[in-house]
Amino acid sequence: MKYIFKRLSVLLLFFAALLVFTPFNAQAAEEEEGFQAGPFIIEHVTDSYGWHICGDGDKSVTIPLPIILIDDGHLVCFSSGKLHHGHAAYNGYAMGWGDQKGSIVKLDSDYTGHLTEGENYAVDHVCKFNISITKNVCALFISLILIATIFLTVAKRYKQHPDEAPSGLQGLVEPVVVFLQEEVINPSLGDRAPKYTPYLLTLFFFILLNNMLGIIPIFPGGANLTGNIVVTGILALITFFITNISAKKEYWVDIFNTPGVPWWLKFPLPIMPFVELIGIFTKPFVLMVRLFANITAGHIIVLGFISLIFIFGQMSPYIGYGVSVVSLLFYVFMGVLELLVAFIQAFVFTLLSAIYIGTATEEHEESTELA
Amino acid sequence: MELIKPSFGLIFWMLIGFGILFFILAKFAWPVITNGIASRNKKIQDQLDEAARVHAELENMNQKYEEMLADAKAERDAIVADARKVSEKLYEEAKLKANNEAQAIIDDAKQAIYYEKMKAITDVKNEIANFSIDIAQKVLKEELSDKERQEKLIEEWVDNCKLN
């Protein structure tokens, strides 16, 4: 235990040091045009075509990620490094600006070269089928490999040493799996649990690991994957489909002919069925928004504290250094809080998914509503 | 509104990626892990049950042993008591016998002493008679002259030599 604390504290110190030293290289560049906290924060919580490591502007170190498009029926692949963070075009492809920010646009010529800011370039169309390996997709792949490796390793250990005391990674994973099975999945699903256990476990560990990777400020962490509406939306959508496809007759009866409700709420104007029908969609919608908002909000607060250093640093470097101490303390506090949130949100998402599926697949009369 | 604008690429990769992850884990990891845990739980429970059973058996055996020990102790006590009784009886008998024998020996000895005494007295009497004859001879040799006096002397001696 003592050893782990030692390791953790070393890790924390490392990150703290990293945060202290980033202002030094960044400050020089910021002074030229002034620091804008809003765009800085949004840039860090949204997706991008390259994985920014450190530095700023032309001096920045960024891992270029491949851009993959299917445009006019042709597969187009090139490195995002060729676009120079939107300051260049390659074969007529460029990063969108204004309303098209975040997408890849095709200019009306096959121009390759520098794009001057403020100049008006004619856009032919926005590339719709854009399956580029963006920062978030890359983080997704990393987390997938990590999760698959962890659990295949653990599974191998179970296979090779059956009925033995858990050790190593297995000892870390097993209590969590047992907790989920005994406290979340089995109570919500009863005897239907085995059918849905694989999905719910995958869901929990996917969210948890990505939440935690999101807290790590540098590569391979730092991508705001579970704070991306698409990721949480797809997870919520899967829960939505599982809930409604595996739902029993009683579930639909509860929705269209809710028992224990006066008839006049159902008959001429189907108010209750309408409300219940909306409920089908609000539940996964809330799942999506809850996870997205919690994780994104945590990141925005952390980035806000970091921005404070730059904002005060612009007034006077000494105030910047002074504020950095306070900011750092708040950052550490938020980091710990985010770690807690990482667990809680993964747990809540899994618990609610289990309850939704559980109530939908319940066969007997009384249904316990929890939402 | 860039924050909540869904991007097609991420939807595409997320569906594929999460699908593959789910497939791999559902096929190769979760069944192995959950069955592994369940099997170990069962084994531990079985062993606990077994331990409880063995413990109960042991308790039972211990009780039996205690009972046997108590029985053996009682038996031993009975045997010792019997033995003591027998030995006491034997001792008494032996004592009695010894007393009787001793009494007999004493009686014999007394009788023997009596006989010996009688014998000695007889011997002494005979000796005295011999002495008397010797003395009489000596006196007779000296006092042969006076017959009257001789007779008177003999009579006096014999009277004086009364034994006992």
Q: Please check the confidence at residue A26 and state whether its pLDDT lies above 50.
A: no
Check if the beta carbon of residue A53 is closer than 8 Å to that of residue A59.
no
Supply the pLDDT for residue A4.
58
Q: What is the pLDDT of residues B7-33, one digit of tens each?
A: 888 999 999 999 999 999 999 999 999
Residue the block writes with tokens 């023997």 = B112
Residue B69 has pLDDT above 60, yes or no: yes
pLDDT in tens, B137-160: 887 777 666 777 777 877 888 888
Instruction: Report the percentage of chain A scoring pLDDT > 70.
Output: 88
Q: Give the pLDDT score at A260.
A: 79
Average pLDDT of the segment spanning B69-85: 96
More confident residue, A7 or A330: A330
B positions 6-25 inside 8 Å of A (CB): 6-15, 17-18, 20-22, 24-25
Closest Cα partner for A356 from A191, A253, A246?
Answer: A246
More confident of the two residues B2 and A322? A322
Q: Which residue has the higher pLDDT, A16 or B135?
A: B135
Instruction: State the Cα–Cα distance between residues A10 and A168, nearest whole angstrom.
Output: 21
A104 bridge partner residues: A95
> Which chain A positions have a beta carbon within 8 Å of B33's beta carbon?
151, 154-155, 158, 173-174, 177
Among residues A291, A147, A302, A136, which one has the least CA distance to residue A220?
A136
The pLDDT value recorded for residue A363 is 78
Beta-strand pair A66-71/A50-54: unpaired
Q: Which of A304, A310, A309, A135 is nearest to A227 (CA)?
A: A135
Measure the CA–CA gap between B77 and B90, rounded to whole angstroms: 20
d(CA A111, CA A89): 6
Bigger pLDDT: B153 or A148?
A148
- Please, what is the angle between helix A317-360 and helix A2-33, to 10°? 120
Cα A151 from chain centroid?
21
- Averaged pLDDT, A83-111: 83
In chain B, whose CA is at the least distance from the CA of A69?
Answer: B9
Contact residues for A85 (Cβ-Cβ < 8 A; gap 6+): A50, A60, A62, A95
- The contacts of residue A191 (CB under 8 Å, 6+ apart) are none
Q: Is A62 within 8 Å of chain B by CB? A: no
pLDDT at residue number A24: 44
A46 reaches B (C-beta below 8 A) = yes
Angle between helix A193-215 and helix A317-360 axes, rounded to 10 deg: 170
Q: What is the dihedral of CA A345, A349, A355, A359, to 10 degrees?
A: 150
| pLDDT the model gives residue A369 | 53
Q: Is A98 on the interface with B (CB under 8 A)?
A: no
Starting at the edge strand that comes first in sequence, how are the strands of the sheet with A104-107 ordered? A93-95, A104-107, A123-126
Q: Does residue A20 have a pLDDT over 90?
A: no
Distance from the Cα of residue A297 to its chain's centroid: 12
Q: Answer whether A174's CB lies under 8 Å from B37's CB.
A: yes
Residue B97 pLDDT greater than 60, yes or no = yes
Per DSSP bridges, beta strands A123-126 and A104-107 are antiparallel
ipTM of the complex: 0.83
A146 contact B CB<8A: no
Across all residues in chain A, what is the average pLDDT?
85
Contact list in B for residue A46 (CB cut-off 8 A) is 2-3
pLDDT class for A25, splitting at 50, 70, 90?
very low
Answer for the pair A78, A90: CB distance below 8 angstroms, yes or no.
Answer: yes
The CA distance from B52 to the nearest CA of chain A, in Å, is 20
What band does A11 get if pLDDT is binned at 50, 70 and 90?
A: low
With CB atoms and an 8 Å threshold, state whether A202 touches B26.
yes
Closest C-alpha among A154, A97, A149 to residue A120: A97
> Residue range A60-74: average pLDDT?
86
User: Which of A163, A167, A195, A205 to probe the B interface (max B CBs under 10 A)?
Assistant: A163
Partner A contacted by B55 (CB < 8 A): no
Tens-digit pLDDT profile for residues A150-203: 999 999 999 998 888 888 899 999 999 999 999 999 999 988 899 999 999 999
Residue B3 with chain A: CB contacts under 8 Å: 42, 45-46, 229, 296
Q: Please tell me which residue of chain A has the smallest CA distance to B42.
A: A163
- Three-state secondary-structure class, residue A78: strand
Contact between A166 and A174 (Cβ < 8 Å): yes
Would you state the pLDDT for residue A19?
52
Share of chain A above pLDDT 90, in %: 42
Look at residue B18 and give its three-state secondary structure. helix
Nearest to B33 among A130, A158, A230 (CB): A158
Q: Is the dihedral of CA A222, A206, A360, A180 positive or negative?
A: negative
Give me the amino acid identity at B18. F
Burial of residue A88, with CB atoms counted within 10 A of its CB: 0-12 exposed, 13-18 middle, 19 or more buried: middle
In this predicted structure, the answer to whether residue A252 has a pLDDT above a threshold of 50 is yes
Cβ atoms of A117 and A91 closer than 8 Å: no
Query: Phi-psi category of A93—alpha, beta or left, where left has phi over 0 and alpha has psi -120 to 50?
Result: beta
Burial class (CB in 10 A: 0-12, 13-18, 19+), A275: middle
Cis amide prior to A220 (ω within 30 degrees): yes
Q: Name which of A92-106, A187-201, B82-96, B111-125 the model is least confident about.
A: A92-106
| Tokens read off for B97 | 């016998």
Percent of chain A as helix, strand, coil, to the nearest 5: 65, 10, 25
